[in-house]
Amino acid sequence: MRRGITGMALLLALVPGAVFGADWPNWRGPYYNGSSPETGLPVRFSPTENVKWSVSLPGPAASTPIIWGDQVFLTSTDLKNQGLLALCLDRQTGKVRWQHYVGTGYRPGGEGNEIQLDSRSNYASPSPVTDGKRVVFFFGNGDLAAFDLQGRKLWQRNIQKEYGDFAFQWTFGSSPQLYAGKLYLQVLQRNLAVGNRGKDGNPSYLLALDPATGKELWRHVRPSPAQMESLEAYSTPIPYEHNGRRELIIAGGDVLTGHDPETGKELWRWGTWNPGHREAWWRLVPSPVAGGGVVVVCAPKRAPVYAARAGGSGTLGTSGLVWKSEERSEVTSDVPTPLFYQNRFYVLSDLRKALSCVEPQTGQVVWSVPLPGNTMYWASPTGADGKIYLVNLRGEVCVVQARDGKILHTVAMDNSEDPDVRSTIAVARGNLFLRTTRRLYCIGK
């Protein structure tokens, strides 16, 4: 402990005004909204500049690394052994502290009469989560395992085997969430079999487990008026506290809902971005994000973004909607989850290749900037140190000034023959953690 304090004091002395020490315990960071309080982060970097270390990974994955103290946790495929890995790296050096095989196979397809539609994804899309006592790894095939921070396995389950096969057209990728002493998983799926996946009558549900034992605490079935693929969501439950009330916010199945973290009971719902539920193929990818007393949800494809009033009760009508973005504007997102940072929302449009800064109470666009590069940005934006960090599918990173949208730096960080970067950039302990197709970079001054 003494050595850690000394090292931190040295860092603070080297970077005047810097704030270091925040962890990144889940996919969307310490505030569940993509932001971090850290300062003193580098603006300029490259594969060789301002890199503390970089390590080769055994396979590609879309999951984001999480950081707690001197440990970095991440999931990965292992292409050589056709397996799924839970990894722990040393934050200071990048060396492997421990690793465990949690499952076999790394992507769906090629089994029975199942057709591989999603050739780009694999089972290592969900990000791990930690509460500082244990770390939980979840994979798209249903494998769920918890370890203590020293790597000793605490328990393991398979959600598909116990609750029924997932019914998704694409590879399931919702991340687990630890909050208020419970482990949460959401499965928002089609109510019909998809090929040989699932069966007719599949329910969508929110599941709460005891993180110490893995035992079920409760399961809340979540009804939805949506149909076919529009029932499917790849989002993650997001905790939010407003006016002293804690809730879990879930987006999918054409509706936005808030739930009691203790029981799973639905507190409120708002919808829909799919009037009459006419669109049957509107699967939802972005998670909700909350801030400033509103909850933002991004409708699929090029549809608008909607902001619902937080703290509601029952079924919210038109009065529950605070604002929605204009049709065919840059304020839209099909894949990335928006960021809430410095009291503003930042919406990254993958289809229109633009980043927009939006006022939470009115939806007014403060600024909108086109992004560089020739490919889409699927990774969600990260906010820290007055900057927004973005990375596109080719591994090209863009650093944007939060207050005015000025582009401060662009750099190519992936030299793979077939780059496919979807992992969100994490921020912790004075560093950026960037996962490319087959490498993990620790970037810092």
Express each pLDDT in 242-267 by its tens digit: 999 999 999 999 999 999 999 999 99
**76 with 85: CB under 8 angstroms?**
yes
Q: What is the extent of the structural domain holding 87?
A: 24-443
**At 225, which CATH number?**
2.130.10.10
DSSP string for residues in 187-204: E---SS-BTTBS-TTPPP
**In-domain check, residue 4:** no
Residue 14 forms part of a structural domain: no
What is the average pLDDT across 311-329? 93
- Please name the residue ranges forming H helices in 148-291: 159-163
Q: Which alpha helices (H) appear in 22-181, and where do they start and end?
A: 159-163
Q: For residue 31, what are its two tokens?
A: 């505030």
Summarize pLDDT for 88-105 with one digit per residue, the tens.
999 999 999 999 999 987
Identify whether the C-beta of residue 395 lies closer than 8 Å to the C-beta of residue 418.
no
pLDDT value, residue 7: 39
- Is there a domain that residue 8 lies in? no
pLDDT tier, 404 (very low <50, low <70, confident <90, very high otherwise) = very high
Nearest 5 degrees, angle CA 338-CA 344-CA 348?
A: 30
3-state helix/strand/coil string of 304-323 = CEEEEECCCCEEECHHHEEE
Question: Nearest 5°: phi and psi at 313?
Answer: -145, 135
Counted domains in the chain: 1
Tell me if 13 is assigned to some domain: no
Question: Domain for residue 216, yes or no?
Answer: yes
The count of other CB atoms within 10 Å of the CB of residue 200 is 9
Q: Determine, yes or no, domain membership for 344.
A: yes
pLDDT value at position 417?
86
Q: Which candidate, 170, 195, 173, 198, places its Cα nearest to that of 186?
A: 173
In a domain, 241, yes or no: yes
| 3-state SS, residue 160 | helix
Q: Average pLDDT of 162-188?
A: 96
Query: Per-residue pLDDT averaged across 127-152, rounded?
Result: 97
Structural domain includes residue 194: yes
